[in-house]
């Protein structure tokens, strides 16, 4: 392991919810929950104001509404989140060529490989500058952990939340980890945690005391060896710049179980086409087609078919998915469907369609690529949907966002990221003067780097959390401080 804390872990603070607060002045400082709003929806992200009520990610949306009935509940705007994430990742790549993204809002950076950090002081300065740059460019806040390994850097960023920076100095790792819960270590989820607790092991130090042989006996060879090494603060995993995708997939969960077999088939075809669009967008093709079906009783089935070569042909993938569906009993109803492609490659086997479709393709002629009817691409005014939180524009009142809709009406709050909280107005859903709009930038170009950044960090910490041992050092709000 390194002798300097030059591995950086960045975790954006309540990312989706923070983006929504930054773009909507009326929601700043208020409870915001982002996720699926249907009966089976789950929370994607909750703002820190919502977390006070016990709302957290992956929670059923119905439970969240019971805990925080007055929160703002919004449908995700993934295209906007992705564009902001790309700006953040650009800042990380300015620090080092070794950046390992884990998700839209999280990444590891090897500062030493970029030549920007070689000791505790230079690493801290890089972390402070990064947080300031993120705020200037995006108007958002991120928490930074710095340590000599990936595991410890991630633990440090978690302790830094929200809007802080924490450094774990080399040589202090064992003392810091010892009193922490076993759940702190990567790979220890609820099931493993309960298994260890029943064996009398609840802290990291108790893992060390139990010994490696006991861990192997309790958890198996691979998991036992790995967990014991982590308890000793041993983590030599490098920061990997390019994480090769293993599969591309899409899935949908339905508010009401689908019983009609024809409807199930049409949904699978639609998912196959969405999957192809993602494949082509990434410049990939794949050999193995995978179908996922979750039935009415929550049982989940997966079926796969491996072709003779990689493809991104929509007809081939649709037909393979349909064949896989033929082997699944959907009589009782379906609550989730998914289509994926694995065995990825960056080339396509041109004659694969003939190989996959065989004689039937010759007999029936080539299968044309299915395209959505114009009526589906451009619904009539009366059929338009208005997802809560999404952007709209009115010819008279300008830019706004949907607060809610129903009973033939849509309620809009008219405001922008740089305005004061706006007024609310209600329209018919078929109002010809109201249309969907693209999101506005969170930061005006003229204010980047200044103090007037719209939506900048409503959450800030001025010191290291009191629960941290004194060998931690951290900062909040950009100021470097250390615990005595």
Catalytic residues: 106
CA distance 479 to 388: 37
| C-beta separation of 346 from 276 below 8 A | no
Sheet containing strand 300-311, edge to edge, reads 247-258, 334-345, 285-295, 300-311
Identify any residues that bridge with 474 across adjacent strands, giving them in sequence order.
166, 481
CA distance 301 to 308: 24
CA distance 18 to 84: 11
Identify any residues that bridge with 7 across adjacent strands, giving them in sequence order.
110, 147
Residues 6+ apart with CB under 8 A from 164: 143, 144, 461, 464, 474, 475, 476, 477
| C-beta separation of 56 from 43 below 8 A | yes
CA distance 202 to 75: 38
Packed helices 212-219 and 190-198: angle between N→C axes, nearest 10 degrees: 120
| C-beta separation of 203 from 180 below 8 A | yes
């Amino acid at each position: 392991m390194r002798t300097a804390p030059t591995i950086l872990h960045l975790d954006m603070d309540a990312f989706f919810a923070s983006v929504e607060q930054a773009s909507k002045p009326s929601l700043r400082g208020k409870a915001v929950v982002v996720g699926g709003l249907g009966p089976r929806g789950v929370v994607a992200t909750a703002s820190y104001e919502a977390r006070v009520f016990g709302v957290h990610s992956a929670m059923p949306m119905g439970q969240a509404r019971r805990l925080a009935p007055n929160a703002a509940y919004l449908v995700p705007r993934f295209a906007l989140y992705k564009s902001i994430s790309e700006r953040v990742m650009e800042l990380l790549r300015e620090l080092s060529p070794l950046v390992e993204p884990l998700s839209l809002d999280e990444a590891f950076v090897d500062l030493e490989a970029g030549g920007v950090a070689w000791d505790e002081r230079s690493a801290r300065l890089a972390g402070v500058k990064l947080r300031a740059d993120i705020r200037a460019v995006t108007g958002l806040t991120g928490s930074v952990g710095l340590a000599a390994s990936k595991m410890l850097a991630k633990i440090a960023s978690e302790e830094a939340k929200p809007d802080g920076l924490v450094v774990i100095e080399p040589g202090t790792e064992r003392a810091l980890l010892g009193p922490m819960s076993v759940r702190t270590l990567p790979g220890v989820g609820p099931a493993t945690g309960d298994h260890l607790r029943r064996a009398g092991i609840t802290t990291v130090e108790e893992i060390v005391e139990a010994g490696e042989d006991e861990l192997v006996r309790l958890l198996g060879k691979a998991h036992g060896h790995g967990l014991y090494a982590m308890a000793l603060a041993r983590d030599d995993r490098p920061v990997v710049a390019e994480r090769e995708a293993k599969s591309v997939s899409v899935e949908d969960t339905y508010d009401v179980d689908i019983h009609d077999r024809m409807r199930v088939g049409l949904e699978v075809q639609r998912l196959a086409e969405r999957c192809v669009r993602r494949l082509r967008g990434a410049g990939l093709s794949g050999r193995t087609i995978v179908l996922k079906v979750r039935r009415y009783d929550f049982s989940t089935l997966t079926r796969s078919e491996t072709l003779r070569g990689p493809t991104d042909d929509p007809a081939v993938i649709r037909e393979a998915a349909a064949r896989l569906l033929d082997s699944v009993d959907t009589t009782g109803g379906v609550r989730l469907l998914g289509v994926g492609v694995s065995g990825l490659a960056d080339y396509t086997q041109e004659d694969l369609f003939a190989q996959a479709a065989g004689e039937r393709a010759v007999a029936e002629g080539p299968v044309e690529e299915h395209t959505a009817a114009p009526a589906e691409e451009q619904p009539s005014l009366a059929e338009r949907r208005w997802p809560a939180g999404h952007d709209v524009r009115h010819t008279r009142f300008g830019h706004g966002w949907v607060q809610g809709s129903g009973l033939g009406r849509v309620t809009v709050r008219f405001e922008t990221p740089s305005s004061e909280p706006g007024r609310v107005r209600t329209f018919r859903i078929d109002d010809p003067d109201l249309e969907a709009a693209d999101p506005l930038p969170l930061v005006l170009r003229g204010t980047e780097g200044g103090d007037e950044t719209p939506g900048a960090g409503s959450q800030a910490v001025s010191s290291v959390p009191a629960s941290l041992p004194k060998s931690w050092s951290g900062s909040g709000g950009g100021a470097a401080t250390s615990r005595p």
